[in-house]
Amino acid sequence: RLLWRERTHEMANVLQRGKRLLEKLKAEASKGKASLCEETLVEIKLHLTNLRGLPPRFEKTATAQEEILLGRECLEQAVLCSVQFRDEAAFERNFLQLNTYYTDTKDLVPPSEQELVVRGLNLLRLLVQNRIAEFHTELETIPPHVQNSSPYIKYVIQLEQSHMEGAYNKILNSSKDCPSQLYVPFAEKLIETVRDEICACSEEAYNSLTIAEAQKIMRFDTKQALLDYAKESDWEVEGDRILFKNEAASESVELDSMALIKNTLYYAKEIERIV
pLDDT in tens, 126-137: 999 989 999 999
Dist. CA 104–CA 117, nearest whole Å = 19
CB 123 within 8 A of CB 156: yes
CB 126 within 8 A of CB 135: yes
Range in 83-92, 105-114, 172-181 the model is least confident about: 172-181
pLDDT for 68: 96
pLDDT for 33: 95
pTM exceeding the 0.85 threshold for the entire prediction: no
Dist. CA 175–CA 166, nearest whole Å = 17
Contacts of 129 (CB under 8 A, 6+ apart): 88
Quick one: which of 48, 53, 65 has its CA closest to 14?
48
> 272 pLDDT exceeds 70?
no
Average pLDDT over the chain, rounded to an integer: 88
Dist. CA 133–CA 137, nearest whole Å = 6
Residue 159 burial by Cβ neighbours in a 10 Å radius (0-12, 13-18, 19+): buried
Dist. CA 33–CA 40, nearest whole Å = 11
